[in-house]
Structure 1
Amino acid sequence: MRKIILSNGQTVEVECLSCALTSGVMEPDVRVITETEYFHAPQDVAYPIKGLVINYN
Structure 2
Amino acid sequence: MLVEPVLVAEITVDTVLERGAWRHPVRFARLRLDVAVTDVPPFGAGVEPASG
TM-score calculated relative to the size of structure 2:
0.25
Larger RCO (CA under 8 A, 6+ residues apart): 2
TM-score calculated relative to the size of structure 1:
0.24
* Greater Rg over alpha carbons, structure: 2
Structure with a larger share of its residues in helix? 1
